[in-house]
């Protein structure tokens, strides 16, 4: 970027995002997360609903004039968007997305590209309105009848069997698994055990693979991904908690009478807190 181009105030929100990320002191992985988060705010800025899950990953964000951030109703649009995201995503996820926007807006304010802060009226997210309870036996049974693939079914069974945090299970590598013993020694020495059915699912998922992350993304890992998070056989990356949670909510939305879908952590608490028969 030349000195002359750096002095030009960008007209479009997407260009301002590119300029911010080019200057931000972020690692490759964090830069990618920030880009996804900032792109996601484009829809509510023009009064549109953010696409869900995979639809969001494949959709092209709308063109947004940067000056729209100065409109009087932008803060209200963002507040509605935050409320909507909290119905389908973890508080920590929405907080990260909002933090990325606050950082970018602050940077743009410093350069006087915009003269307002539409995030100023947004309150910090302290937690969900109510903790989602464990799934019932009927709900757990319904999961097996969804169109979810082998990867999702293996992860969901693992969560139900072990009660371990999803982050711990997603960090498992193939060499850690003892499928005959139905157990694994996870990071930091934590032991997890599961049922023979889950061992079968994991065995089919790995298909003889003995290295790399157990749970992989559908695509090749982006440049800059840590080597330990990439499978050397196919180049795919480790599945993130964020994506795993989105997939779970997508598949369970038709099962939820409220139409919001369930949260991934409900599988873990289903084991810890027990399930009802209803």
Q: Give the residue-averaged pLDDT of 69-94.
A: 85
pLDDT of residue 164: 87
The answer, yes or no, to whether residue 278 has pLDDT greater than 60, is: no
pLDDT of residue 2: 46
**Proportion of the chain above pLDDT 90, given as a percent:** 46
pLDDT of residue 274: 44
What predicted TM-score, i.e. pTM, was given to this entire model?
Answer: 0.58
pLDDT of residue 160: 92
What is the distance between the alpha carbons of residues 262 and 247, in angstroms, rounded to a whole number? Answer: 10
- Work out the burial of residue 245: count CB atoms within 10 Å of its CB; fewer than 13 is exposed, 13-18 middle, 19 or more buried: buried
pLDDT of residue 277: 38
Question: Domain 137-273's class?
Answer: mainly alpha
Task: Band the pLDDT of 209: cuts 50, 70, 90.
Answer: very high
Structure tokens at 22: 């080019």
**Proportion of the chain above pLDDT 70, given as a percent:** 88
Q: Domain spans of the chain?
A: 3-110, 137-273
What digits encode the pLDDT tens for the residues 153-170? Answer: 999 999 999 988 888 899
The answer, yes or no, to whether residue 128 has pLDDT greater than 50, is: no
Of 30-34, 155-159, 234-238, 256-260, the poorest mean pLDDT is in 256-260
What is the distance between the alpha carbons of residues 158 and 165, in angstroms, rounded to a whole number? Answer: 10
82-83-86 Cα angle (round to 5): 85
Least Cα distance to 100 among 22, 35, 43 occurs for: 35
């Amino acid at each position: 970027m030349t000195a002359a181009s750096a002095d030009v105030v960008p007209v479009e929100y997407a260009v301002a995002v590119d300029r911010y990320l080019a200057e931000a002191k972020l690692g490759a992985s964090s830069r990618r997360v920030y880009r996804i988060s900032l792109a996601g705010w484009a829809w509510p800025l023009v009064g549109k609903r953010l696409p869900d899950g995979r639809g969001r990953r494949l959709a092209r964000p709308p063109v947004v004039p940067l000056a729209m951030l100065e409109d009087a109703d932008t803060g209200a649009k963002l507040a509605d968007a935050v409320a909507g995201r909290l119905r389908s995503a973890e508080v920590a996820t929405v907080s990260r997305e909002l933090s990325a926007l606050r950082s970018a807006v602050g940077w743009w304010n410093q350069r006087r590209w915009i003269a307002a802060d539409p995030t100023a009226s947004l309150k910090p997210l302290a937690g969900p309105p109510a903790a989602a309870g464990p799934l019932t036996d009927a709900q757990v049974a319904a999961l097996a009848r969804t169109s979810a693939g082998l990867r999702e079914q293996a992860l969901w069974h693992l969560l139900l069997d072990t009660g371990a945090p999803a982050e711990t299970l997603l960090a498992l590598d193939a060499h850690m698994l003892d499928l005959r013993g139905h157990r694994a020694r996870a990071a930091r020495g934590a032991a997890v055990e599961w049922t023979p059915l889950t061992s079968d699912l994991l065995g089919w998922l790995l298909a003889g693979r003995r290295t790399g992350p157990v749970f992989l993304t559908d695509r090749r890992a982006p440049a800059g991904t840590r080597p330990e998070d990439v499978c050397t056989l196919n180049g795919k990356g480790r599945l993130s908690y964020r994506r795993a949670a989105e997939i779970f909510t997508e598949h369970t939305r038709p099962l939820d009478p409220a139409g919001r879908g369930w949260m991934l952590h409900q599988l873990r608490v289903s084991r810890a807190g027990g399930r009802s028969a209803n």
